[in-house]
Chain A
């Protein structure tokens, strides 16, 4: 069973439906026992970093999430679910995150002359930086759907699995031990996204 963590935010239904579409057994839950016994865990998320951390805290989910990551079972973070893994975000002042990975989350900052819009919204390509069980090396630049104004700056460059170009090259994917976390939305990325989720569901 894949446990999709329900902390009162995010597009849980989309993530759930996408796993169902690839034949994976997934459930949406906020029950720490269900998270602990799940085969793998998904932390989705859209919205504001601060509200997400507050909701996780209020629902008593911070420890269960940290423990599930430490247990070594496959973990998938999507969008805010990637950002929340880091030590802090500068969204609305400095807000501490889960601190599972060293690094921070900062905002796209373009000068007035730039035509680049924020949020970074739409389909953009990935640059595959290392081999990964979730990506096909024959397709090193697949398109995925993004919608975000902030991006992660990991301290450890070895954890970077994909980058994406938007005004600058930013980190769009992290893989470290059992952690797989992406800035883009596989559940909204049609065939490419479903394929990634299917591969994640097969991880041990």
Chain B
């Protein structure tokens, strides 16, 4: 039986692992290669690196980190952050990444995802979505992309009391007016092999995944969904899979700061009846 995956996520800035709360207030959490090797020993199912280095000139640093990690770690490695061109993807895959996560560049040019999937195969193209619940009392953000005429329905939000979620780009800074659920579906139809869905409301808060968001997106997709943002307890990991219907649960700070270990998380999920690789 296919196991649900537990994925530690390493936010890498200028070659170091950092972690913030709701995308700000970064804390240093150590050397990415050492941390990756420790997760290998613990039996993590996959690893994700998100390169949050602000400057594009420092891209060499993440390639070096990926390369050194690939020497030591024999599990799938996803790398995202600032992926803008087919060359970026080629370089990351060459350095040892198995999958590449595309976020902002996909929103600005959806065709890029199509080209990437055709060139490198859907199995290595992850579309990362940063989503925030829409405040029903506030005016909707206007479409912030040039291609809105081609996909006008993507900007339609469900009416309250139904919850709606909006796509943000640039590490959660820019609201795009796009309906996150419809966006995930479009990305699937463009060849994405997996969706990495981060709840901005929950990121770093340790209050649990946004379960309605994850369940709504998972139900809308035929490709796997990775839930991200908000994991704080064992129960949260369980709920992410059982109620959020995620195929994999991603977490950062709880694993880096050793509040939970991978083995105890796996034991817990297994005891609760989730198929898990021990």
Tell yes or no: B120 within 8 A of A by CB: yes
Complex interface: chain B residues within 8 A of A17 (CB) = 70-71, 74, 96
Contact B123–A121 (Cβ < 8 Å): yes
CB distance from B198 to the nearest CB of A (A): 19
The listed residue (A46, A115, A123) touching B3 by CB distance below 8 A is A123
Tell yes or no: B9 within 8 A of A by CB: no
Tell yes or no: B211 within 8 A of A by CB: no
Contact A124–B3 (Cβ < 8 Å): yes
Contact A48–B74 (Cβ < 8 Å): no
Range class of the B interface residue count? 20 to 34
Tell yes or no: B98 within 8 A of A by CB: yes
Question: A110 vs B222: C-alpha distance in the bound complex, in angstroms?
Answer: 9
Question: A166 vs B245: C-alpha distance in the bound complex, in angstroms?
Answer: 17
CB distance from A157 to the nearest CB of B (A): 23
Find the A residue at minimum CB distance from B124. Answer: A46
CB distance from B25 to the nearest CB of A (A): 33
Question: A48 vs B221: C-alpha distance in the bound complex, in angstroms?
Answer: 22
Complex interface: chain B residues within 8 A of A189 (CB) = 74-75
Find the B residue at minimum CB distance from A118. Answer: B222
Question: A17 vs B123: C-alpha distance in the bound complex, in angstroms?
Answer: 21
Find the A residue at minimum CB distance from B219. Answer: A115
Tell yes or no: B154 within 8 A of A by CB: no
Contact A190–B40 (Cβ < 8 Å): yes
Contact A119–B98 (Cβ < 8 Å): no
Contact A120–B98 (Cβ < 8 Å): no
Find the B residue at minimum CB distance from A147. Answer: B123
Complex interface: chain A residues within 8 A of B98 (CB) = 11, 14, 147, 188
Knowing A143-B3, A143-B277 are in contact, say whether A119-B247 is a contact too (CB < 8 A). no
List residues 19-40 of chain A with CB under 8 A from any CB of chain B. Answer: 21
Tell yes or no: B122 within 8 A of A by CB: yes
Complex interface: chain A residues within 8 A of B94 (CB) = 13
The listed residue (B45, B123, B224) touching A123 by CB distance below 8 A is B45
The listed residue (B1, B45, B75) touching A165 by CB distance below 8 A is B1
Convert B197-240 into 0s and 1s, putting 1 for each residue whose CB lies closer than 8 angstroms to a CB of A: 00000000000000000000000011111000000000000000
Chain B interface helix/strand/loop/mixed: loop
Tell yes or no: A129 within 8 A of B by CB: no
Tell yes or no: B248 within 8 A of A by CB: yes
The listed residue (A47, A118, A145, A190) touching B223 by CB distance below 8 A is A118
CB distance from A183 to the nearest CB of B (A): 12
Question: A11 vs B74: C-alpha distance in the bound complex, in angstroms?
Answer: 12
Tell yes or no: B193 within 8 A of A by CB: yes
Complex interface: chain B residues within 8 A of A188 (CB) = 74-76, 98
Question: A118 vs B277: C-alpha distance in the bound complex, in angstroms?
Answer: 20
Tell yes or no: B43 within 8 A of A by CB: yes
CB distance from B76 to the nearest CB of A (A): 5
Contact B123–A119 (Cβ < 8 Å): yes
Contact A122–B2 (Cβ < 8 Å): yes
Knowing A48-B121, A120-B2, A122-B2 are in contact, say whether A13-B70 is a contact too (CB < 8 A). yes
Find the B residue at minimum CB distance from A166. Answer: B2
CB distance from A93 to the nearest CB of B (A): 15
Contact A119–B71 (Cβ < 8 Å): no
Identify which of A18, A119, A124, A185 gathers the most chain B CB atoms within 10 Å of its CB.
A119
CB distance from B138 to the nearest CB of A (A): 34
Q: Which residues does B use to contact A, with CB under 8 Å?
A: 1-5, 40, 43, 45, 70-71, 74-76, 93-96, 98, 120-124, 193-194, 221-225, 245, 247-248, 277
Q: Which residues does A use to contact B, with CB under 8 Å?
A: 11, 13-14, 17-18, 21, 46-48, 110, 115, 117-125, 143, 145-149, 165-166, 185, 187-190, 193-194
**New A-B contacts (12) at CB < 8 Å, excluding given A46-B124, A122-B5, A122-B45:** A11-B93, A11-B96, A13-B96, A110-B222, A115-B245, A117-B247, A118-B223, A123-B277, A143-B277, A147-B76, A149-B122, A189-B74
9 A-B Cβ contacts within 8 A? A11-B96, A13-B70, A46-B123, A46-B124, A48-B121, A119-B123, A124-B3, A149-B123, A194-B74
